[in-house]
Amino acid sequence: MTIRQPTELVAAGLAAPEKLPDLARVAQRYAVAITPAVAGIIDRSDPNDPIARQFVPDIAELTTTLEERADPIGDNAHSPVDGIVHRYPDRVLLKLVHVCAVYCRFCFRREMVGPGRKALSTQQLDAALDYIAAHPEIWEVILTGGDPLVLSPRRLGDVIKRIAATDHVKIVRLHTRLPAVSPEKITPALIRALKAPGVTTYVALHANHPRELTEAVRAACARVVDAGIPMVSQSVLLRGVNDDAATLEALMRAFVECRIKPYYLHHADLAPGTSHFRTSIAEGQALMRALRGRISGLAQPTYVLDIPGGHGKVPVGPGYIDICGEAAAVVEDINGAKHEYAPGSFRDGPKGRARNP
C-alpha cells in the first residue's frame, strides 16, 4: 500500500519517531506518497540514502529562499486556457491531472500537485483540445501534470485518440515516473492506450538514480519499447542523489541498456523549499565534462536550465571551443588539452591540396 501519512513513514522504518512532528509540518504543506516499489529499494540503514532523499519529507522543505518561486519555470505566463502551456511554437504541454503516484521532494510543480487536486473537467479538456486544433503550428503535444499515466487506460486512450484526430499533431509525448515507481501498472491495456493511428508516441521516463532501475522497472520499460513506443529519459541533477560522475555514469548507462535514450539532465528548478537539492551550474558543467570522457555518446544527456520566469529551456553544458577569428579556433579535448583548429593548417602543399583520407 502507498505510504501517505507521517505515521506510516515511521511505522515503515523510513523516519525516526522523534521526527514525527517535523514530518507532520511538511506533510501539511506538500503532498507525500511513496509506493511499495520505491519503499522496497530504500536502504533504511543509510541515513543519506539517495532514494529516501528523493521521496521522504525533510524539514528543510519549509525553508524558502528569496530566489525561489511557486511557479519557477513560468507555466502560468504561457497558459492561454486551463491545462495548456504553450511556451514554444511547435509544441504544447497538456496537464491532464494534478496528482502523481509518488511526490518528489524537489518537484518544480509542488505548489500545484497533490491529493484533492482535480483533473481537467470535461469542459476544460474540450477547450484545451480545441486550442490545439486551432493552432496548426502545434506539431507535438506533451502530456504531463501530475503524471498522466495515473489515468485509467480508457480515459488516457480517449485523450490520445482525440489528439491524434488533429491532422497537424504528429507526436504525443508522455512524461511519467510510473514505470519506475509502480512498474506493475504498466499493463497491456495501458500500453495499448498509448498508441493511436496518426501520431507517434514517445514516453519520457523520469529517474534520477541507477538503483531506481530494478529488474521489475526494466521489464516494465521493455514492455513499452517492445510495443514499438520509443522511450527517452529525463533526470534532475540533485545534491546528495546523483551529483557525482560515477552515479550519473551508471544511471545513463542503465537507461541505454533499457533502450531508453538519455535526453535531459535538468538543473534543479527554483521551487520553494528545494535549496538543499540544488547544485551550482558550474558543478553541473564539471560533471558533464567528466561524463564526456567516460561514457558513449549514446549515453550523453543534454544538461539544461529552465530559465526562471517562463523564458524557456536552454543547454548550459560546458563549452569546448574558443573562436579566435573567422578561420581559427582553439578546441579543448576531453582530457583538458587545447588544440588550435585552423582549417588551412590541415592541408598539404602550396596549392592547398587536401590530404588523402
Task: Say whether 269 is catalytic.
Answer: yes
| Contact indicator for 111, 272 with CB cutoff of 8 Å | yes
Task: Say whether 154 is catalytic.
Answer: no
| Contact indicator for 339, 330 with CB cutoff of 8 Å | yes
Task: Say whether 29 is catalytic.
Answer: no
Q: Which of 107, 110, 243, 264 is catalytic?
A: 107
Give pairs for 82-87: CB < 8 Å, separation 24+.
Answer: 82/120, 82/124, 82/127, 82/128, 83/120, 83/124, 83/125, 83/127, 83/128, 84/128, 84/131, 84/132, 86/131, 86/135, 86/138, 87/310, 87/312
Q: Which of 4, 223, 313, 320 is catalytic?
A: 313
Q: Which of 58, 71, 104, 110 is catalytic?
A: 104
Task: Say whether 49 is catalytic.
Answer: no
Q: Which of 95, 105, 109, 173 is catalytic?
A: 109
The amino acid sitting at 258 is: C
How far from the centroid of its chain's Cα atoms is residue 222's Cα?
19
In this structure, how many other beta carbons lie within 10 angstroms of the beta carbon of residue 183?
A: 19
Task: Say whether 88 is catalytic.
Answer: yes
In the numeric block, which cell numbers belong to residue 302?
543534454
Task: Say whether 261 is catalytic.
Answer: no
Helix axes 245-257, 281-292, angle to 10 degrees: 60
Q: Which of 53, 87, 105, 218 is catalytic?
A: 87
Please count the CA atoms within 13 angstroms of the CA of 221 that sit on its side-chain side.
28
Task: Say whether 90 is catalytic.
Answer: no
329 phi and psi, to 5 degrees?
Answer: -155, 160
Q: Which of 88, 263, 320, 341 is catalytic?
A: 88
For the CA atoms of 131, 94, 119, 304, the dihedral, rounded to the nearest 10 degrees, stands at: -150
- Measure the CA–CA gap between 274 and 278, rounded to whole angstroms: 7
Residue in 191, 194, 195, 171 with CA at minimum distance from that of residue 183: 191
Task: Say whether 263 is catalytic.
Answer: no
Task: Say whether 100 is catalytic.
Answer: yes
Task: Say whether 19 is catalytic.
Answer: no
The stretches of the chain forming alpha helices (DSSP H) are 6-11, 20-29, 36-39, 50-55, 122-133, 153-164, 178-181, 188-193, 215-226, 245-257, 281-292
Q: Which of 4, 69, 91, 239 is catalytic?
A: 91
Q: What secondary structure does DSSP assign to 193-259, as a single string?
A: HT--TT-EEEEEEE--SGGGS-HHHHHHHHHHHHTT--EEEEEEE-TTTT-SHHHHHHHHHHHHHTT
Q: Which of 100, 110, 202, 258 is catalytic?
A: 100
Q: Which of 105, 269, 278, 289 is catalytic?
A: 269
Q: Which residues are catalytic?
A: 87-88, 91, 100, 104, 107, 109, 269, 306, 313
